[in-house]
Structure 1
Amino acid sequence: MKFNPFRKENLSRYLGTDKKFVKTLGAGDLLALGIGAVIGTGIFILPGTVASTEAGPGVTLSFVIAAIVCGLCSMCYAELSSSIPVAGSAYSYGNLLYGEVIGWILGWALVLEYMLSVAAVSAGWAAYFHSLINSVGLHLPHQLENAYNPASGTYFNLVAVISVFLIALLLSRGLKTSIKLNNIAVVIKIAIIFIFIGVGLFFIKPANYKPFTPFGANGVFHGATTVFFAFLGFDVVSASAAEVKNPKRNMPIGIIGTLIIAAILYMAVSIVLTGMVHFDKLNVANPVAFALKQVNQGWIADLLSIGAIVGMSTMMLSMIYSSSRLIYSIGRDGLLPSFLGKIDKHGLPENSLWIVTTIIALMGGIFSLDELTNLVSIGTLLAFAFVSFGVILLRQRSDIPDASFKVPFYPVIPILSTLACIGMMFFLPIKTFIFAAIWFSFGLLIYFTYGYKHSKLNTQK
């Protein structure tokens, strides 16, 4: 057989394999899943720190710019997901539109995004949990309170590991139950954000908005590249396509709706926060809680701690869910061991769920991920760029059904979205590109030594 890493998958095979999933998700569930992933602890941190160091009160404009870039990409995701309603998100789109090796690279990029994100958030979840139990006089052994760092006397973050397994246990009970609890948690999280906005409005001082752009237009645009990453996660909605009722209608609503709601909430928090406290005082670990204490509203600051834990839990649920579907998709295609591509009698990819959970838990328990967070960004932007340009390839395919949602102003928006994602990459530090080169080289080694030989495409004529 001729060596061809750019051979393409067949949509009918994907649809046939994925039909074993139970279709339980409606438009509201998708919105909650997306908001759960996008609106995390960042909403309580980024508006303050970026205002203080980069954009001033103009951080609101930074969120507008970032939302526009993400909005362009979200429309591309909406068209692909409604036309290709299969599990695997950008990985599956890559296999169908570009060829297997590109699909593998995009899947490898998403593995980076999903797993590192959850591992990092699990450490934050643990920090808030420790703070809460310490306030009532309870303490875990110091050795088990943080990641491996013998110099500080810590060896394992036990709570981070437990939090990951608890979320996975919830997911293993069935998607319907998980989504119901996730929907409730998202409502609680948004309610707490509205409480902050409602209370904060009474403490806004117009003088705090002057100067509005102290670092100039360059500061606003640089701030946009930072807050852009606050929107990452909306793509997890596309990973659920195989489990969605009426995907042609509901996928665009879930993806684009998530972006609109997230953008409004981020901008509202930014306006209120920078109005309550002058921007030069907001470069603190928790600027929203700091601002509330500055206006003697400490009780709401305590409420935000609960909201942060709820917020991190929904983000972890969304990302572990997406990770398991991604690994299932790669196993389904034979590029990873086939047991990962199995669906159990309850319609769940149980094997991939627990493999993903174990890896994430170990990462969260042992490793400090501060140096690796930019890797999440570069992997995601790479996937976004390929998905955006993929719309152009999709329109040229007669074997794939027309999408119910089509990107407007075609082909201008797919091209603009592709260029915007590539442009964002150039704002990342050089060391990120070095780490990424190592990560993707390792991934390609796996593909060419295992994946290509075991691919299901080898058995298709």
Structure 2
Amino acid sequence: MPQGAPGAQTRPGQLFWHGVINVQQEGAVKMGIFHTKSIAEIIKGTERHALKKTLGSLDLVLLGIGCIIGTGIFVLTGVAAAKYAGPGIMLSFILSALACGFAAMAYAELAAMIPAAGSAYTFAYASIGKLGAFIVGWALICEYTVGAAAVAAGWSGYAVGLFKTAGIDLPKAWTAVPADGGIVNAPAVLIVAFLTYLLVLGSKESAKFNKILVFIKLACVALFLLLASPHVEPMNWQPFLPFGLGGVATGAAIVFFAYIGFDAVSTAAEECKNPNRDIPIGIIGSLVACTILYIAVAAVLTGVVPYASLNNSEPVAYALRTLGMNFGSALVAVGAICGITTVLLVMMYGQTRVALAMSRDGMIPQSLVKIHPKYGTPDKITIATGIVVCILSGLLPINIIAELCNMGTLFAFCVVSIGVMVLRKTEPDALRPFRCPAVSIVAPLAVLFCGFLISQLPTNTFLFFGCWYAIGMAVYFTYSRHNTLLVEKSNAEFTLRQGHLENGSAETTGL
């Protein structure tokens, strides 16, 4: 009876063997830059370098909040209001939230379908192919690494300021980069080194630390709303749109940086106890909670003081000082430091998981794929990431604005939204624990909104990414393209051996 015919008897392991033979016979297809990996291949690949499953839905929600609420709420809210949108910054946050909301639905479906590390990179490999996956992964490397270095430098500035408030002046030689007259930005290096150590210890330990800091900064945000709300003057909201609707749109492109973080939740899919249920909760839950907080803070902030006075690095603390609440201002400053710390932690975490997925596939050296036998974490990649971020934040002047990170994230959102539509066609029968509602409407809207926000970014951003992708294409065609073929062959041989073992086991037991 032909294999696959009704009533055919197929022993366990035979399907594995048959699948590998097909893979080997279709080697010419796998050589193409548009070769995609099946969901089964991706899941199978995680078994060779398995991560510990320690995270629950609450951990994931707090992981998302940890990365979303930070620089955006404590800094960008005031800057975007003063320079771009005025009190209309509330609409800017809503516009950005819509773009993120549509993309979040697509992320939730794919993350539940494909519970593997790598986020948008992995989803792209399953939907649009090898080259597209590399392009997305290359964008995410820039987003997370450059963003983490910039956040670390910002953390140093807040920490130095806090010490100064306490009457302790740290020497410039150890708090400034060489270009600014110092030797090294030691606080930035120390915080990155400490968080790298936590990430090596394990996602559970990192999640506990993140949870503590998230509760502290949420308490500080709640304190600000409690203290400042009674002092809101509606006249400060006039004019509501001083820069017009164009200012609202530009403000949305700027504050989009504030929402970077919910996508980091999907990088934790492989370490989630029940990814089919918990990942959608983590993605959508963190986005909804943060959107509500952003709009509330924006409304109170622009209602307490004139929007034109908010163009400073600490608008929330500034507003409380203006009201004569210096103690409350100091507490909010502590919350800001906690907020920036969690952002840095999650950005470094996301970078290590994207790099892990790319390393597994041979896009970057596969020697980096090593899971620590005790901690169950990718320690080599984590340490390498920590070293790079330490060098960037400790020795180089970080003048990179939020738009540089936004470009990579918006591009990834577009790819994921396209990917969910592609997989509905190519994998119609795949298990979908969470389904994006009205995908034919939601996914195109996500691409449309994200594409619009990309168009609002400055020209320098496009020039920077053009150079970054030129380097990336050189890496891909000189190394990644050829190395992935070797890894695919190795994976096929591994699957063949596994199928052979299962086949032998079945024969031994008489099944």
Normalised to the residue count of structure 2, the TM-score between the two structures is 0.87
Report the 3-state secondary structure (helix = DSSP H, G, I; strand = E; otherwise coil) of the residue aligned with 2:433.
Answer: coil
Q: Deviations over 1:90-137 (max 9, x none)?
A: 111111111111101100000011111110010111111111222344
Matched residue, 1:59:
89
User: 2:18 aligns to what?
Assistant: none
Contact 1:86 1:241 in 2 (8 A): yes
What secondary structure does 2:267 align onto?
helix
AA matched with 1:446: V
Change (3 A) 1:39 1:400: farther
Equivalences for residues 4-403 of structure 1 within 5 A: 4-19=32-47, 20-149=50-179, 152-345=180-373, 346-371=375-400, 373-398=402-427, 401-403=430-432
Q: C-alpha distance in 2, partners of 1:100/1:134? A: 51
Q: Which structure 2 residue ranges, 5 or more long, are not aligned?
A: 1-26, 493-511
Deviations 1:39-86 (A, max 9, x none): 012202222222222222111111111111110111110011011111
Residue 11 of structure 1 contacts residue 400 of structure 1 at CA under 8 Å; is this kept in 2?
no
CA contact (8 A) 2:72 2:257 kept: no
Check the 8 A contact 2:252/2:453 in 1, yes or no: no
3-state SS in 1 of match to 2:207: helix
Secondary structure of the residue aligned to 2:34 is: coil
Q: Which moved more, 1:78-87 or 1:53-62?
A: 53-62
Q: Deviations over 1:215-241 (max 9, x none)?
A: 222222222222122111210000010
Of residues 488, 491, 500 in structure 2, which corresponds to 1:457?
A: 488
Aligned to 2:462: 433
Q: How many residue pairs were aligned? A: 459
Distance in 1 (CA, whole Å) between partners of 2:449 and 2:418 is: 11
Partner of 2:435: 406
Bigger shift: residues 34-43 or 281-290 = 281-290
Q: 1-side partners of 2:235 and 2:483: how far apart? A: 65
Aligned-partner residue type, residue 180 of structure 1: K
Distance 1:368 1:120 in 2: 9
Query: Is the Cα–Cα contact under 8 Å of residues 388 and 417 in structure 1 kept in the other structure?
Result: yes
CA separation of 1:192 and 1:281: change in aligned 2, threshold 3 A: same
2-structure distance, mates of 1:348, 1:400? 33
Counterparts of 2:93 and 2:264, CA distance in 1: 20
Measure the CA separation in 1 of the matches of 2:235 and 2:128.
53
> Aligned partners of 2:427, 2:167: CA distance in 1, in Å?
66
Q: Which moved more, 1:282-291 or 1:189-198?
A: 282-291
**2: CA distance, partners of 1:291 / 1:137:** 23
Q: Is the 8 A contact 1:38 1:315 kept in 2?
A: yes
Alpha-carbon separation, structure 2, partners of 1:98 and 1:158: 43
CA contact (8 A) 1:55 1:219 kept: yes
Structure 2 Cα separation of the partners of residues 204 and 423 of structure 1: 33
Equivalent-residue separation in structure 1 for 2:117 and 2:225 (angstroms): 37
Deviation by residue 1:359-398 (Cα, 9 ceiling, x = unmatched): 1111111222324643211111111100011111111133
CA distance in 1, matches of 2:488, 2:52: 26
Q: Does the residue aligned with 2:52 lie in a helix, a strand or coil? A: coil
Match for residue 453 of structure 2 among 393, 399, 424? 424
Bigger Cα Rg: 2
SS at match of 1:432: helix
Task: Describe the superposition over 1:155-205 as per-residue Cα deviations: whole angstroms up to 9, x where unpaired.
Answer: 321110111010111122222122112111111110100000011111111
- Asked whether the 8 Å contact 1:35–1:258 carries over to 2, the reply is yes
Contact 1:331 1:340 in 2 (8 A): yes
Is the 1:385–1:418 Cα contact (8 Å) retained in structure 2? yes
Percent identity, aligned pairs only, is 39
The Cα shift of 1:207 comes to: 1.7
How far did residue 310 of structure 1 move?
0.7
Q: Distance in 2 between matches of 1:40 and 1:260?
A: 16
Q: Hey, what does 2:4 align to over in structure 1? A: none
CA distance in 2, matches of 1:134, 1:211: 38
- Distance in 2 of aligned mates of 1:139 and 1:47: 29
Distance 1:279 1:141, change over 3 A: closer
For 2:454 and 2:366, the matched residues in 1 are separated by 34
CA distance in 2, matches of 1:108, 1:18: 21
CA distance in 1, matches of 2:162, 2:437: 48
Runs of at least 4 residues of structure 1 off by over 6 A? none
The question of whether the paired residues in 2 share the 8 Å contact of 1:83 and 1:400 is answered with: no
CA RMSD of aligned residues (A): 1.6
**Counterpart of 2:15?**
none
Q: CA deviation at 1:34?
A: 0.4
In structure 2, relative to structure 1, the CA distance for the partners of 1:153 and 1:296 (3 Å cut) is same
One-letter amino acid matched to 2:43: L
> TM-score, normalising length from structure 1?
0.96
Q: Distance in 2 between matches of 1:400 and 1:162?
A: 49
